[in-house]
Amino acid sequence: MPLFFKISLFFFFVSSSYPLDNNHPLESLTLFELTQVTNIVKNSYFPLNVTFHYVGLNEPNKQLVLSWLSSTHHPALPREAIVITRIDQKTHEIIVDLSSVSILSDKIYNGHGYPMLTLQEQTAADELPLSYPPFISSIKKRRLKLKEVACQGYPVGWYGEKKKSTNRMVKVICYYLDGTINLYMRPIEGITIIVLLDQMTIASYIDRLIVPVPKANGTDYMGSKRRRSSHESNSIKIVQPDGPSFTLDNGNTVRWGDWKFHVAYDMRAGIIISLASMFDADKREFRSVMYRGFVSEVFVPYIDLTEEWYYRTYFDAGEYGFGLCAVELEASKDCPENAKFIDGYFISQDGTPGKMPNVICIFERYAGDIMWRHTELAIPGKVIRKVRPEVSLVVRMVSTVGNYDYITDYEFKQSGTIKVTVSKPRS
């Protein structure tokens, strides 16, 4: 299965083996549940081919969750999944109930927009041009080597067309390696390739103009090929000799200082923070700060009117999936030494669940900053001095969408605020 080659490097596919071992109602679907869900849907449509674009928890309504939260014995709430599939070139939104092992609802979606791209269909689309004679001829015409070409499919956008198209499509853009790994620095401009995803065929091919490919020299970003700094830096680490101050239970509820919240992985949204609340020591109770928070969308419009660029107006969360594009986080690099990690579970196109190890990290952040301080000299005969360092708690995910690496941080501050940042470091 060459289509799976790229992702199999990253994700260790695991077999479903154990049931839900906790009963937090907002916990992401487990491996066991994901397998159940896709089996229910596949069995229901057998022998039709079902492609899975999104499977996630269908959360119980807020009132149910809040009453669960305030009860002392925390009774298990119903577990449901929302499934977005393509079946017979139609988009289905299916709700699956896990306790009754049945489909609660199944609607065909006819509105604008399409399901998220799967990793498998992206890989398949990327490979199409490489064996497509007109493209091979275009590459030859440019005096480039076909084996140094790498392609990527991108959504086509929407420009007010009234007629709804049932065709899911991407435009495939190709880049040139040949001496660099930094392919985005060497676009092969002037070519527009439209791929129909359900058919996985090239529907339209235009080679409009030849633009010289920029040189490879100086584009490499790996350390060994970059010019060296005049001084090398000594290592710097954040250490907690007594361990982290936060706890993470097996239902992914985090407690830190006065904070309590739930963290979950979602294929589309990435991190979902729920039930974030802070302990009020005066009232001796938790006060709700945020019921549910996640990145709803990241819009990336290039605002370039040329034929090969006008459509580059991506929804990087909704089209690619911030969770699906998340990378395995590396200790001491993506997250500091004192981080703890959480795994995520996603569904591949054929319904097989996959594990994303260390997809979320949680750590106490200390940058040497001061949260609060005062030196009081106005009281005769006294010098009063109080300094409180700024320590916060960060929940992080990194999502790589094409050449963009998004760092999503939910930073919980002792002041009671949550600072959410989606940042793109230089890359």
Q: Hey, which residues are catalytic here? A: 316, 404
Task: Report CA torsion sign: 412, 417, 422, 427.
Answer: negative
Strand ranges, E, within 251-352: 253-256, 259-266, 270-280, 285-293, 299-301, 313-315, 340-347
- Cβ distance to a copy of itself smaller for residue 79 or 365: 365
- Cβ distance to a copy of itself smaller for residue 89 or 400: 400
Query: Smallest distance from the beta carbon of 221 to a copy of itself, in angstroms?
Result: 6
Residues 317 and 334: their CA atoms lie apart, in Å, by 20
Residues 419 and 411: their CA atoms lie apart, in Å, by 5
- Cβ distance to a copy of itself smaller for residue 305 or 383: 383
Query: Smallest distance from the beta carbon of 417 to a copy of itself, in angstroms?
Result: 11
Query: Smallest distance from the beta carbon of 255 to a copy of itself, in angstroms?
Result: 7
Query: Smallest distance from the beta carbon of 197 to a copy of itself, in angstroms?
Result: 18
What secondary structure, in 3-state letters, does 40-60 show?
HHHHHHCCCCEEEEEEEECCC
User: What DSSP line would sit under 317-331, residue for residue?
Assistant: TTTT-TTTTB----B
Distances (CA, A) of 372 to 132, 245, 253, 278, 389: 64, 20, 28, 19, 7
- Which of 314, 272, 276 minimizes the C-alpha distance to 297? 314
Pairing of strands 313-315, 353-376: unpaired
- Cβ distance to a copy of itself smaller for residue 37 or 395: 395
Residues 29 and 37: their CA atoms lie apart, in Å, by 9
Output phi, psi for 347, to 5 deg: -120, 130
CB 366 within 8 A of CB 339: no
Residues 353 and 13: their CA atoms lie apart, in Å, by 7
- Look up residue 46 and give its DSSP letter: T
Residues 344 and 362: their CA atoms lie apart, in Å, by 14
- Cβ distance to a copy of itself smaller for residue 112 or 237: 237
Query: Smallest distance from the beta carbon of 1 to a copy of itself, in angstroms?
Result: 14
Query: Smallest distance from the beta carbon of 334 to a copy of itself, in angstroms?
Result: 6
106, HSE (Cβ side, Cα atoms, 13 Å): 12
Query: Smallest distance from the beta carbon of 179 to a copy of itself, in angstroms?
Result: 13
Residues 200 and 129: their CA atoms lie apart, in Å, by 11
Helix (H) or strand (E) segment spanning residue 139: helix 133-141
Query: Smallest distance from the beta carbon of 259 to a copy of itself, in angstroms?
Result: 9
- Cβ distance to a copy of itself smaller for residue 20 or 130: 130
Q: What angle do CA 270, 273, 275 make, to 5 degrees?
A: 155
405, HSE (Cβ side, Cα atoms, 13 Å): 9
- Which of 80, 106, 111, 79 minimizes the C-alpha distance to 93? 106
Q: Give the distance between the most distant pair of CA atoms in the chain.
A: 89
- Cβ distance to a copy of itself smaller for residue 303 or 378: 378
Strand partners, 363: 394
- Cβ distance to a copy of itself smaller for residue 21 or 337: 337
- Cβ distance to a copy of itself smaller for residue 156 or 325: 325
Query: Smallest distance from the beta carbon of 335 to a copy of itself, in angstroms?
Result: 6
CB 178 within 8 A of CB 151: no
